[in-house]
Structure 1
Amino acid sequence: MSTITSSAADGFIDRLPANVRFFLVHGSDEGLAHERVKAIVRKLVGVDPDPLRLVRLEGDALARRPDGLAEEAYAVSMFGGSRVIWIDAQGRDLMPALEPLFARPPAECAIVIKAPQLKKGHALRTAFEKIANVASIECYSDEPKALGLLIDAEVGNAGLTIAPDARAALIDELGADRQTSRAEIAKLILFAGGKPRIELDDVRAIVSDAAPSPLDDLVDQALVGDLQQAADSSARYFNEGGDADPLIVRLVARLTLLHRLRLEMEAGHSFDAACQTLYVRLPPDARRSLAKAAERWTSEAIAQRLPNVRAVSAKVRISPELSDLLASRALWALASRRRPAQ
């Protein structure tokens, strides 16, 4: 068994051990988990793998038919070479499907599982903590050092530099989710245009959480459950020419922050203590809205809905003619969710 901390995960993936055939990639940062699963797959079967060497399976399907995993894992590749099965766990119980493979590991197939945050004692996490030649890879929000490396890499790849004070400010504003962080850095690079260096004013002007935004009120209305206000505000926003893409980016960022806060609170911390731990800095009105949303949601409920909101983000870019409707429905779905019984 190898439990790989989030800070050590990238180095582990760069030097992937040949004897490990089962990988569990899990944690609160869903975007980072997805990125690391892709990196593992690239290490095992290449950047552009033959479709016959990479199989994608959903947790729902395996829960209905557990023996389907063994059939895929023990199948012999038609043209030879190792294979990978990528499983999106979706919160399903995968143990009935995995236990036969743990007992008799496939020789030419690796199993890579992407899972949400798993509590200590969860059957899947426990199995990966006890069995030899498996790896449990944690994915938690980036620490400042990792964010700095990410910023340097993205800015350098764009042929730009970034001023030290701008870099420090950007680190303070990112980190809730790896995919959202990349999206914010990409927007900043685009905003910088032909300038050779990104300055502090650029960060203040473009990064989502660097300054109050009119989108915050709309997002908060949905998360606190004010369906009528959210519907009215979204209609007004789009009637005035608002863009769905930044709205959904904002929504993902706030949901991710709320998920991190709920994890802290469910570990026994107060809302204020959780905000202090996560360095949350918001204006008083936004902080009150966030506290109200934190009373309404649980970490489990947020983890169930985040993938759907991320899927909306992708659909908005693919189908701009439907973007207003897709974004509005995402907000309505969150606003109409009933608060769980206490």
Structure 2
Amino acid sequence: MAALKAHEVARFLTRPDVDEGIFLAYGPDAGLVRETAQRLIRKLSGDDPEQASIVTLDGSEVDADPSILAVEAKTISLFGGKRIVRVRGAGKSLVMTLTELRDDMQGASIVLEAGNLPPRDALRALVEAAKNGRALPCYPDSDEALAALIRDTFNQQGIRVDADVVGTLREILGNDREITRRELEKLCLYAAASKELSREDVLLLCADNGMLVIDAILDATGGGHAERLELALNRALSSAVDPQRLLRMCMIHFDNLRRWRTEVDAGKAPRAVLDGQRPKPHFSRIGALEQQLRLWSDNALATASARILQTTADTRRRPGLAEPALRRTLLAICMMAAAR
């Protein structure tokens, strides 16, 4: 009988305290649930995994025919290896069959995958109460766990990374384990020959390039950098980014600056204002945003926002003029920033 804590799962997967029984991987991170089940099955398969008899069922199959789980669990392997039944999308329909099986597994193991289950869920309660039952909670990675996973992955492949690669990846990837693994595999393949990885490589391969170019437009406009603005606009428009979308993003950007500026005017330092935001702006933009907060006054930001709003209304009435109107408006605002 065991209900593991989330931080205990990794240690359990390295050295399980039982080699047969009912195992339940559950939680909101579907990618981590699948990875946990896969790692556990590899461990349960023993020293000769190719001899193991592994059967995979979908929850819908078991819902349609509950007896199939018992049949597969009790079927003797022709080759004498471990018998493992994996059930994806497990639910309450399994409870009755598992109740019959839990005290006499006859050498078999059942590995269940489920979503986020509350403590009183019947399936979770059954597994936690079973003598040979182990419930393995799978919750999204913390920043520390994600950073450790990134470092370990690159170290195992012998890839040297720049100092800011881990921080950049942590910002980009979020907390879904499956997405994280997929992106790390892509980066390892990319760096297989050179054994080196830079932040620029990470941004090129993993970041949302559309969002990156929009950020470049916003910061060039707000920072008064006309040449950067023209280059970023050309990149965005040549990639078929909708001018109306760019105007919306600019409106949001200047509204944010005005809201943050209110805190600065109240006596708070620009960096402290930015550090206190949730979600926090990407660390690569902090310097640019801090500069913009120092450049713009509340009145000037209100004027810029009003101009963007007017251009948005005009381009909705005359969509054919959206691109030149966008360029003219953002350049004018950019010049306002440059003159401050």
Shorter chain as denominator, the TM-score bin is: 0.5 to 0.7
1:23 aligned partner: 23
1:198 aligned partner: 197
1:97 aligned partner: 97
CA apart distance, 1:65: 1.8
2:122 aligned partner: 123
2:41 aligned partner: 41
Q: Which residues in structure 2 correspond to 1:298-313 (within 5 Å)?
A: none
- The answer to whether the 8 A contact 1:23-1:135 is kept is yes
The code of the aligned residue for 1:129 comes to E
CA apart distance, 1:91: 4.3
The code of the aligned residue for 1:17 comes to D
Deviation readout 1:255-300 (Å, 9 max, x if unpaired):
xxxxxxxxxxxxxxxxxxxxx9x964579xxxxxxxxxxxxxxxxx
Give the Cα–Cα distance (whole angstroms) in 2 for the partners of residues 210 and 122 of structure 1.
42
Does the C-alpha gap of structure 1 residues 94 and 160 become closer, same or farther in structure 2, counting only changes over 3 Å? Answer: same
Give the Cα–Cα distance (whole angstroms) in 1 for the partners of residues 155 and 67 of structure 2.
47
2:233 aligned partner: none
Does the C-alpha gap of structure 1 residues 190 and 68 become closer, same or farther in structure 2, counting only changes over 3 Å? Answer: closer
RMSD: 3.5
2:83 aligned partner: 83
Identity %: 29
Give the Cα–Cα distance (whole angstroms) in 2 for the partners of residues 57 and 77 of structure 1.
17
2:148 aligned partner: 149
Does the C-alpha gap of structure 1 residues 279 and 137 become closer, same or farther in structure 2, counting only changes over 3 Å? Answer: farther
Does the C-alpha gap of structure 1 residues 183 and 169 become closer, same or farther in structure 2, counting only changes over 3 Å? Answer: same
The code of the aligned residue for 1:171 comes to R
The code of the aligned residue for 1:107 comes to Q
CA apart distance, 1:47: 8.2
1:69 aligned partner: 69
Q: Which residues in structure 2 correspond to 1:1-342 (within 5 Å)?
A: 1-18=1-18, 20-46=20-46, 49-50=49-50, 53-91=53-91, 93-102=93-102, 104-191=103-190, 194-208=193-207, 212=211, 280-281=279-280
SS of corresponding position for 2:56? strand
CA apart distance, 1:52: 6.5
1:320 aligned partner: none
**What is the TM-score with the length of structure 2 in the denominator?**
0.58
SS of corresponding position for 1:84? strand
List runs of 5+ in structure 2 lacking aligned partners. Answer: 215-238, 241-274, 283-340
CA apart distance, 1:129: 2.6
Does the C-alpha gap of structure 1 residues 88 and 63 become closer, same or farther in structure 2, counting only changes over 3 Å? Answer: same
Give the Cα–Cα distance (whole angstroms) in 1 for the partners of residues 69 and 200 of structure 2.
52
CA apart distance, 1:50: 4.2
Q: How many residues align?
A: 227
2:290 aligned partner: none
- The answer to whether the 8 A contact 1:26-1:118 is kept is yes
Does the C-alpha gap of structure 1 residues 129 and 161 become closer, same or farther in structure 2, counting only changes over 3 Å? Answer: same
- The answer to whether the 8 A contact 1:203-1:210 is kept is no
Give the Cα–Cα distance (whole angstroms) in 2 for the partners of residues 189 and 82 of structure 1.
33
CA apart distance, 1:202: 2.8
SS of corresponding position for 1:34? helix
Give the Cα–Cα distance (whole angstroms) in 1 for the partners of residues 126 and 170 of structure 2.
36
Give the Cα–Cα distance (whole angstroms) in 2 for the partners of residues 29 and 88 of structure 1.
14
List runs of 5+ in structure 1 lacking aligned partners. Answer: 216-239, 242-275, 284-342
Deviation readout 1:75-122 (Å, 9 max, x if unpaired):
2222323211111135452112211112x3212101110111112321
- The answer to whether the 8 A contact 1:22-1:135 is kept is yes
SS of corresponding position for 1:154? helix
- The answer to whether the 8 A contact 2:26-2:116 is kept is yes
Which has more radius of gyration? 2
CA apart distance, 1:61: 1.6
Tell which deviates more after alignment, 112-121 or 206-215: 206-215
Does the C-alpha gap of structure 1 residues 98 and 210 become closer, same or farther in structure 2, counting only changes over 3 Å? Answer: farther
1:268 aligned partner: none
Does the C-alpha gap of structure 1 residues 38 and 196 become closer, same or farther in structure 2, counting only changes over 3 Å? Answer: closer
